[in-house]
Amino acid sequence: MALIEQTLFGQRDKVEIAIERLRQFEPAEGYWLAFSGGKDSVTIHHLAKMAGVRFDAHYSPTTIDPPELVKFIRREYGSVTWERPKRSMWEAICANKWPPTRQMRYCCEEFKEGDGLGRLIVTGIRWEESTRRKGRRMVEACLKNQQTTYLHPIIDWTATDVWQFIRENQLAYCSLYDEGFKRIGCVLCPMGSHPKRDIERWPNIASRFIATFDRVIAIRQAEGRRCSFATGEEMFEWWIQRNARGRDPQQPTLFE
């Protein structure tokens, strides 16, 4: 199916351009395709198949992904490899003795950024997603590992383009989008924009955060570290309010 864009230089078929990008940079060993289960991942997965390029798709669970998303990936994408973390988010929070924040995003580095090292990684990153991503290039080297390169074949697509592609190709997608979710990432991610909605939608995960924060307070007290909170619930309330104050409404949620 075509996604035709009118430009000063005539018509552009965005689908054909994305396919050509995938074919042009295909490495001998094939691509590492970063698959999160979101709409952009579904799109690049199908584009890679249309392009006929070699690739292996990988999903990196964080242990606080929406249950609906996890079930969707298991049901619709059984061939995707799961890169299981060495420890859970709850264990990571206790080890760091503090919850992840917008300023201290150790969760990103631990659960996502180490995957696909030395490979050419295909992602669904798009310029439209955030002001930060407007500065990204279609092909770029990883800042932390120069042996790793990224290809973003739909970097110039809009969300409307993505949904048109999904519908015209009758691709399955996570049901959370039909509930009004614009982006799908970790539950209560510090980069998210709807903490109240997440708490109401997944109360068991919110309760697990509070219980984990209780453990963090106990660890800090046992080590003689300063802590301004008496209970995990107090820390949770502070954490939610802090993240809500500091959020960028255009910033995508964690790894969507």
Going from N- to C-terminal start, the domains of the chain cover: 4-181
The tens digit of pLDDT for each residue in 195-235 reads 999 999 999 999 999 999 999 999 999 999 999 999 999 99
Compute how many other C-beta atoms are within 10 angstroms of the C-beta atom of residue 146: 9
pLDDT at residue 134 in the model? 82
- The CATH architecture to which 4-181 belongs is 3-Layer(aba) Sandwich (3.40)
pLDDT at 49 over 80: yes
Q: Which of 172, 142, 138 is nearest to 157 (CA)?
A: 138
Torsion on CA atoms 163, 165, 171, 176, rounded to nearest 10: -10
The model's pTM is 0.88
178: Cβ–Cβ under 8 A, 6 or more apart, which residues? none
Q: Using an 8 Å Cβ cutoff, are 255 and 64 in contact?
A: no
pLDDT at residue 178 in the model? 97
* Burial of 252: CB neighbours in 10 Å, binned 0-12, 13-18, 19+: buried
Lowest mean per-residue pLDDT among 101-110, 158-167, 168-177: 101-110
pLDDT at residue 8 in the model? 52
Q: Which one-letter DSSP state was computed for residue 253?
A: P
